[in-house]
Each structure stands twice: as structure tokens, then as C-alpha cells.
Amino acid sequence: MTQAKAVKALEKHGILLTYPIDNKPEPLSLWSAFYPNDKMVWEWDDNGDDRVAKLWHLRMELSMSRKVVYAKWFRGRATFFSREIFTALLASLGTSKASRNLLRSESQQILEILEMDSPQSTKQIKVATDLRGKLFERTYDKSMKELWNRLWIVGFGEVEDGAFPSLAVGATQTLFEDLWEASKEITPLEANKILIAKLGEDSLWVKFLRKLS
């Protein structure tokens, strides 16, 4: 389980979850790429499979490597993309060419904060946008989901700001400006051809993309 092998697997498959969903064969994950014949048991105690925790730490390292891209994308789960496929997804979704005025006002506010300073933790974002507390929890979650789904934002490492480390989030345009600009040169039709050729027309990835589109 190394960063180099993870990047190689992502370049081969295009998209991988970090962990499998209920140990189902599809969609593919980093776990299934590393251990294709082993079921994953989600246990974190001393008797648990230490490979689960090692993959969690590798996830953080990969997210900051810039060799791949990380986002809470497929059904809100930790998803990794090859640079090629992420660029094609931005073009297919039309995100890099879209007007941010189409976003929820709170989503726009979060995005503006992140474009000025990326990455930031959940706590930092909530303080900066004044979306703290239970009263704004649902609003915050909806806004983040909108930004994740259309890949306006990406995950980039972790921040120690509480009992547990928090995922650091940044604006895609800020952290991956090269991919953002490259996606503007690809038409949605060209992007979809790239995605289908790599992922398969009937793949769960493409089906999820169509729902978003």
C-alpha cells in the first residue's frame, strides 16, 4: 500500500473510492485495488485490521500529492480521481465555465472564502461564513454537498482543530488551477467521450454523473 501504487491504480481506472461500499465489487475502491480478494472490516480497535487505518492515512497523503484529486463526490463518499478524469468531469459538468450565481447564496459565500484562502477546515469555514451551530447545520451541509457534487471544491489534507482532525477543503480553481483552465478547452461532448471510454458507459460513475447533469 504505497502512494505510487495508488496513483498507478487511479491512472488505470480513472476513479476509485477510498473504501468499498458494503464490500460490493462495484464501484471500485483503493481497498479493492490493493486487496482484491479481501473483505474490509471497519474496525479501529487494537484487534482490527491495521490496513484500514493505513489506508486512511494514505488518503490524506494522496489528497495533498497533486498527482491525483480528492473530493467527497460519489454519493458523498471519499472519492479519488486521476487528473485526466477530473479535468474531463469539470468539463462535462460545465463547472469551470458556470456562473456561480446559479449556486445557493451560502454556497457562493463558502466558495468566495475558499478562493481567498485555501484550504480551510470545517470549523474555519463555518466561522468565516457565520454558519456555526445547529441552526445552520442543515444549510451548511446542503451548501457543501452542492459544491462537492459539481466539484467546485476538493479535499486537501487535514487540519487539527478539535478532538479529531478535520478534512481541509479548498476551491478547485485555487488548488488545481491548471486542471481548471484545461477543462475550459474541452467541450462537454468531448469530455463525455473521454469519460465513457475510460469508465464505461454503464459504469456507476457515469450513471451518477448523469444524475448530476
Domain map (residue ranges) of the chain? 3-92+177-212, 95-175
The answer to whether the predicted template modeling score (pTM) of the entire model surpasses 0.85 is yes
> Mean pLDDT per 10-residue run, the chain (213 residues)?
92 96 92 90 74 89 96 96 98 94 94 95 92 90 96 93 82 97 96 96 95 88
pLDDT on residue 163? 67
Compute the residue count for the chain. 213
pLDDT on residue 161? 72
- Contacts of the segment 158-167: beta carbons below 8 A, 24+ positions apart: 158/60, 159/119, 159/120, 159/121, 159/123, 159/124, 161/121, 161/122, 161/123, 161/124, 162/123, 166/121, 166/122, 166/123, 167/72, 167/121, 167/122
Fold of the 95-175 domain: Arc Repressor Mutant, subunit A (1.10.10)
pLDDT on residue 213? 80
Cα end-to-end distance, the chain, whole Å: 35
